[in-house]
Structure 1
Amino acid sequence: MKEEARAAILDAAEQVLDEKGQAARMDDIAARVGVSVGTLYNYFEDRQQLLAALREMRGRELLALLDAELERGLQSPYRARLHGFLRCILEYSQTHFRLFSLLLEDSVRRDASREEELDRHLTRWREVALRLEHLGEQGIQEGALRPEDAPHYPALLLDMLHGLVVRQLLAKQPVPADELLAPLLRCFLEGAAPR
């Protein structure tokens, strides 16, 4: 029951953040979920802890979606699976666009004590990279990827993807996943040189 209440608080927090942005207060979140502010503070010491929990929850959800996407496409060729994997990340970032934009703003504003936050972020990206590494093995077997550069593929692709997502967040202009997928896949799989 406590986990369900915590999840409800986090969902309400995202709704309030979507509506009010950085002006969202703990009072607003408590009112949205229908609890007292004191009850809210029983779950989270402060706004930063709540934001960290929200980031963690959404990160776990994304990993679960990626795992489901990889499982669903097990019998598909590498290119189709890579397309599905990237689409999953892009669509998830669109679904939670306002939240991720606010989290990025918040992290830029708070430069102090970022080491622990950075460690959590890097751990999550390592988990995503591991999934891409396994997917890349299929790409090598099918001849879609060169084996000699395999250790670099997850980082290269994730950095390209990360750059596209962060650019949208900073510009506060979401771009549909389909508009990003084609150039991302083309540049990764075929390079940027003219054909």
Structure 2
Amino acid sequence: ATYPVLPTNGLAQLRIINPRDCHLPVTINNHTTILEPFGMWKDTSAIVTGNHSIPFRADFSQCGGRKNITGFIMAVENQATTYVLEYTTPYGYRDRVGRTEDGNPAIRVLTYNTLNPFAKTKVELSGVDHVFKTKRMGPRVARKTTLAEFSPGKYRVKVNGKKVGEITMRRGGVYTLQVL
């Protein structure tokens, strides 16, 4: 069995998700990496006491945006935080990385919509009576749903009524399904 790495005293966890279909060069605290399309960067053992502001620089030129966007993300001691770097300010949320109480997989949906400032997105998984919904509010393009717990297995995914693929969720996993 594998167990998740949980945040502890003196440490913070950070994740940055690239919800775009492009390579995104980023520099985080003077460390440069390239986020793959729909990829993720993580640091599960950032040494932090209290809250610590970490500088970043992102080059959105390969994604149709400006070259150098700078800002800060916050590392919080004993907490996992996930960010989506947007053109204005990062969209961040406190993340849950530990297993559910009974070990079933849990999933949230992260939507990223740049086309419509008031877009509504509906995501359904086959065989379950649960619908994930997000609504874009103005300039913020990223939105997430709350976590929902399901039985382990394979599910077909529909976005706004259209079949888009499948996802397999395993026991103990905590997943983020990205929808563009």
Q: TM-score, normalised by structure 1?
A: 0.27
Q: TM-score, normalised by structure 2?
A: 0.28
Q: Which of the two has greater strand per residue?
A: 2
Q: Look at both structures and tell me which one has the larger radius of gyration over its CA atoms.
A: 1
Q: Which of the two has greater helix per residue?
A: 1
